[in-house]
Amino acid sequence: MVDVKSMANPLFLREEELRQGIEMLFFAYRDFTGEPDAILSEIDLGRAHHRVIYFVGRNPRITVTDLLKILKITKQSLSRVLSQLVNEGYIDQTTDQGDRRKKLLTLTEKGVDLEHRLTENQRKRIARAYKAAGAEAVQGFREVLRGIIDPGDQERFEIVAPAMPPQRRGKG
Amino acid sequence: MVDVKSMANPLFLREEELRQGIEMLFFAYRDFTGEPDAILSEIDLGRAHHRVIYFVGRNPRITVTDLLKILKITKQSLSRVLSQLVNEGYIDQTTDQGDRRKKLLTLTEKGVDLEHRLTENQRKRIARAYKAAGAEAVQGFREVLRGIIDPGDQERFEIVAPAMPPQRRGKG
DNA sequence: TTTTTACGTCAACCATGTTGACTTAATTCC
DNA sequence: GGAATTAAGTCAACATGGTTGACGTAAAAA
C-alpha cells in the first residue's frame, strides 16, 4: 500500500517529523531530570537547587544578577533556594573587592561533591547517547539544539564547523 | 599557547563536551516552553494543560491510564487538569464500548484549535533549527536524543539508518 | 464469586514559580 | 557633593503542578 498522504502532501511528513522532535525533547528532558531529582529528594532539596549548584559550579565567582540571567527566574525565587544552599554549606558568598555591591558565589567542597553526585547521572546518560550515536551525530545534535535555543544564549556554544561541504548550506 | 589539559588529559575535553550537552538541553527546553506558556497564561491554563492537550491530540481515543504512562505523573495530578479541560470543552470523553471501564479521550474542535495555536510556536522553532542545521544534522539530533530517552519510550521513535557507512559503528 | 483494573475524588502538603512593595549599601553620573 | 542607579535582600500573598494516602464505584477477568 502506497503512502498517499506523503506523496500527495509533502507537508505531512514534515509535520510528523516536527512533532517527533517536540516529543523527543519532552521525553529526553523528563528522563534527564528524573534521576537527579530522586537523589535530591533524599536530602530535602529540589531541582531548583540542582540548577543553582550546577551553574555556580560551572561559573565560579558568578554574581547573583548573572545567575538570574541564566536561570530566567525572579530574584525572590532564587533567593529561597540560594539562601538555603548557603545556610547548609553548599555555597560560599564573598564580596567582590572591585565592586563591593556584588556577591560572588562559589561552591564549597560539600557543594562540589553534591554537584558531582547529581551531574554524574546526566553525564553518563549523555556519554552513553553520544557513544551510541557517533561523533557525526553529536555534531548534528549540537547544531540543532543550538538552533532551538534563543539567540541570547546560543553564543554560549561554539559554532561547530559543518561536517563535509562548507559550501551550499541553509538551502536544502 | 598549547592546550596542555586536553593533550595530557583527554577526559578534560570530554567533560567539557558533556557539560555543554547538559546545558544545551537545559536552555533548549527552557526556551522551547517559554512561548506556549505565555499563550496559556492568557487563558488561565498552564503547561500541564498543554501536555495533556498535546498528547490527546497526538493519540486520539487514548485512555487515562495510557496518558498517565506518557506523562509519568499521578492520576490525581492529571485529574485536576483533565477535568478542567473537559469542563471547558477542550476534550471529549467517551466510554470504550469494548471495555466499558475505559474512557477514551479526544480533542474537540476547540481543543484542536488550541493545540494548533500552542504547538505552532514549537513547530516553527524546530523547523527553523532543522533547516539551519541541515538534514544530516537532524539525523544526528534524533539519534542522540533517542539515546538520552529511557528504554521504555525510545521505541516511540524509529531507528534512523546511519548516514553513510553502516559498518564500523559503536566504536570510535 | 472474588479479585483486579480503570477511573474518580477528597484532603493535605510541598516545591517552585509569580507579583508587588520596600530596604540597604555601594557605585556612578552630573 | 548630591542624586540617581545598581546589586542584593526581604516580607507577604498567591498560583501552579507535583506528591501521598485513603476511599469509592463500576466493569472485567480469574
Q: Read off the pLDDT of each residue in A143-163 and give the average, rounded to a whole number.
A: 86
Domain of B131, in residue numbers: 18-154
pLDDT per residue as tens digits for the range B107-135 = 999 999 999 999 999 999 999 999 999 99
**A158 is a domain residue:** no
pLDDT, residue B45, reads 95
State, as a whole number of angstroms, the distance between the CA of B52 and the C1' of C11. Answer: 24
**A30 is a domain residue:** yes
**B11 is a domain residue:** no
Cα distance between residue A34 and residue A103, in whole Å: 32
**How many structural domains comprise chain B?**
1
pLDDT, residue B172, reads 33
Cell of residue B93, nine digits: 470523553
- Nearest residue, CA→C1' of D19: B74
Considering chain B, what is the average pLDDT of its residues? 89
Angle at A108 between CA A107 and CA A109, to 5 degrees: 120
The DSSP call for residue A1 is -
pLDDT, residue A171, reads 39
Q: Look at residue B169 and tell me whether its pLDDT is greater than 80.
A: no
Burial grade of B14 (CB within 10 A; 0-12, 13-18, 19 or more): middle
Sorting pLDDT into bands at 50, 70 and 90, what band is A166? very low
ipTM: 0.86
Strand partners, B62: B105
- Which parts of A65-123 are beta strand (E)? 91-95, 103-107
* Cα first-last separation, chain B: 28
**A168 is a domain residue:** no
Query: What single letter denotes the amino acid at residue B113?
Result: D
User: Hey, is A91 helix, strand or coil?
Assistant: strand
pLDDT, residue B8, reads 61
Which protein residues have a C-beta closer than 7 A to any atom of strand C?
A: A 44-49, 51, 72-74, 76-77, 80-81, 98-101; B 63-65, 75-76, 79, 82-83, 93, 99, 101-103
Q: Which residues of A touch B133 (CB under 8 A)?
A: 140, 143-144, 147
CATH of the domain at A27: 1.10.10.10
**A18 is a domain residue:** yes
Q: Look at residue B3 and tell me whether its pLDDT is greater than 90.
A: no
**A120 is a domain residue:** yes
**B168 is a domain residue:** no
Residue A13 at interface with chain B, using a CB cutoff of 8 Å: no
**A48 is a domain residue:** yes
Cell of residue B106, nine digits: 479526544
pLDDT, residue B30, reads 95
Cα distance between residue A5 and residue B31, in whole Å: 32
Cα distance between residue B102 and residue A80, in whole Å: 43
3-state helix, strand, coil in chain B (%, to 5): 65, 5, 25
